[in-house]
Amino acid sequence: MRDRTREHLICPARGAAEGACGGRLSLSDAGLPARRSATHPDDLLEGTLACRACSAEYPIISGVLVLVRDVAAYLTRYCRDVLSSAALHGTVSDDLTRWLERHHPDAPGLPSADQPLDVNLPGSMDRLADLVGGDARYGTFAKFLREWQGRSPYDRLASFAQTLGSGQGLAIDSGCGAGAMALRLASLAGYVIGVDRAFAAVLLARRLLLHEPRPKDDYELRRSAETFELRSAARALASASPAPGLELPLGNTDFIVADSTELPLADNAAGLVAGANILDVTSLRAALKESARVLSPGGLLLLTDPFKVSPHAYSDRPADPVASLRQFLEGLGLTVQMEEDFVPWIWYQYDRHFQVHLNYCAAARKSA
């Protein structure tokens, strides 16, 4: 976690009035001993942030700050998954192990829920056209992929922000995954914070885009049920970025574990919030209300979703989810200024397994 990131965050613990505590966070001398990156001194690999108001503590594990409302419950539920991900892709010190044993002694022995890392997540940054373009078996599908290269829902949102002007303030990538949207926002905002509840996804995003806690030079792309191909992360990232000359590691971006429905940010804190493909995953009303809350007047909300799972969850008219979404945004003081529907969003699973969803993309401005 970068020192600059902490300046934007508040304590999400429940306060006396059932809302968030909202206290400011500072590095604790009494918690997990602080350990900084050898290559980036402003990056904490381990440590504890404490709330100045309620004294709640939030650990930094392998560079990832876990900033959720009930951090004890989170670590108890996902402890084994967090530790295995950190050990495999990051670093786990003896101090961290002892801290977990002291503060959460039962967690390693309890049944642990998994946060599976989608096999498509690393490969989602790679060019699908490059994967299949040289194989005649794909026929017109390869042509379709090439035609839509650089025009994904993520690219459309970035284009909206560039056209409408996103400013140089704070941008939030809500439900960031491995950082595909954050990568595109890095050239459009002053500082970007990616937020996701999945520890493994946040750790991967930091490795790919920040090269912390150690560089991610390549990754395994699943080609069939039992075979993988070693792919170049640098090549994948270069093809995923619409900004020419964008240098990695990103210098104005960070990623934390937090909840899109309980963002650890003060009211009006961000000039831009992006939510890509999270509406079917979490509560639409809660996630959008949080996005509107943290947006400053005149701020920009970017969203895209295929409405593939449960359009009825937020609408009395599931047959017309776009109209329902526009109406809901208007109720939050957000006016759609740019939009495009039926934009292909493609999931690569295997060489013979692709899923194509048609996304709605929109940019909405918060009233002044």
pLDDT in tens, 118-176: 545 555 667 788 888 778 889 899 889 888 888 889 999 999 999 999 888 999 999 99
pLDDT of residue 119: 46
Q: What is the mean pLDDT of the chain?
A: 86
Compute the distance between CA of residue 283 and CA of residue 245 in angstroms, rounded to an integer. Answer: 37
- Taking the domains of the chain in order of start, what are their residue ranges? 3-109, 120-366
Compute the distance between CA of residue 93 and CA of residue 91 in angstroms, rounded to an integer. Answer: 7
Say whether pLDDT at 313 is over 60: no
Say whether pLDDT at 107 is over 70: no
**Residue 118: enclosing H or E segment and its boundaries?**
none
Rounded to two decimals, the pTM is 0.92
CA max distance for the chain: 64
pLDDT of residue 97: 83
Question: Residues, the chain, total?
Answer: 368
pLDDT of residue 167: 81
pLDDT of residue 158: 94
Is residue 22 classed exposed, middle or buried when 0-12, 13-18 and 19+ CB atoms within 10 A define those classes?
middle
Residue pLDDT, tens place only, 319-340 = 788 888 898 899 999 999 999 9
Question: Quick one: average pLDDT of 199-205?
Answer: 90
| Range of 83-87, 99-103, 299-303 with top mean pLDDT | 299-303
* Greater model confidence, 230 or 6: 6
Question: What CATH architecture does domain 120-366 belong to?
Answer: 3-Layer(aba) Sandwich (3.40)
Compute the distance between CA of residue 56 and CA of residue 334 in angstroms, rounded to an integer. Answer: 34
Question: Quick one: average pLDDT of 291-320?
Answer: 79
Say whether pLDDT at 282 is over 70: no
**Residue 26: enclosing H or E segment and its boundaries?**
strand 25-27
* Greater model confidence, 170 or 13: 170
Residue pLDDT, tens place only, 210-234 = 988 877 777 778 888 888 888 888 7
* Greater model confidence, 128 or 304: 304
- Residue 256 pLDDT class (50, 70, 90 cuts): very high
pLDDT of residue 88: 77
* Token pair listed for 91: 């670093």
Q: Tell me the HSE value of 158 on the side-chain side, using a 13 A CA sphere.
A: 20
Question: Quick one: average pLDDT of 185-213?
Answer: 91
Residue pLDDT, tens place only, 348-362 = 888 888 888 899 999
pLDDT of residue 2: 96
Compute the distance between CA of residue 174 and CA of residue 256 in angstroms, rounded to an integer. Answer: 10
The mean-pLDDT minimum among 96-100, 137-141, 291-295 falls in 96-100
**Residue 254: enclosing H or E segment and its boundaries?**
strand 253-257
Annotate 129-180 with three-state secondary structure: HHHHCCCHHHCHHHHHHHHCCCCCHHHHHHHHHHHHCCCCCEEEEECCCCCH
- Residue 30 pLDDT class (50, 70, 90 cuts): confident
Residue type, 107: A
Residue pLDDT, tens place only, 235-244 = 777 777 667 7
Secondary structure of residue 335 in the 3-state scheme: strand
pLDDT of residue 100: 82
Residue type, 354: F
